[in-house]
Structures are given as C-alpha cells and as structure tokens.
Amino acid sequence: MIYGIGLKNFVGDVYEIHRYQSDQFQYVVARTNKHSETKVRDDVERMNSMLSEEFKSQGIKYIFSVGTMADFMKSVSKRQKERSRSEKGIFYR
C-alpha cells in the first residue's frame, strides 16, 4: 500500500488517505495519482476494517480525499518556503 506521485502525470486528481481522530485531521497517510479512485477507496475500507477496537474507541479512522495536482504542488511549495524561513530563523507566516 505504498503510493507515489508520478511527476510526469501533472494533470488530474490526486487521491489521498487521511487519518482522523474523531473529527480532527491528523496527517496524510498516503497520496497517489497512479492508482484508481476505486483502489484507493478499497484500501481505505480495508485499513478501517483492520483497526483494533482500542483505536476505534479512540475515534481513529481513515478517510478518502480527492485533490488536484495543483493543490499538491501548492502545499509542497508552501512547505518548502516555511522550511527555508525556519532555517533562516524567520518564524512568521
């Protein structure tokens, strides 16, 4: 269940798997534009079915999400800019 981004496929949708605890977003587990929406949705269902009762009781769940490659590139650019600022000692946004 390891996904990658094919940079030559710069157009189209990007499918993501997000981890939530209750209604709070935690992080992006996986992101791809190489696999079909159906495959990623099936993986989300399988991941949720594999959660232990302990995690389920804590409200942990995986959610399918669709974005665009443009959205993905904006987030990468923003992260790189923030990383650059922090290396220079600039911590404002």
Q: Where are the domains of the chain?
A: 13-87
pTM: 0.67
**Hey, what are 50's tokens?**
């594999």
| Partners of residue 20 on adjacent β-strands | 25, 61
Burial of 20 (0-12, 13-18, 19+ CB in 10 A): middle
Model confidence at 43: pLDDT above 90: yes
Confidence class for position 24, pLDDT limits 50, 70, 90: very high
Over residues 66-89, the mean pLDDT reads 72
C-alpha pair distances (Å), 9 with each of 13, 16, 19, 33, 67: 10, 16, 25, 8, 14
At 1 the three-state DSSP class reads coil
DSSP structure class, residue 77: H
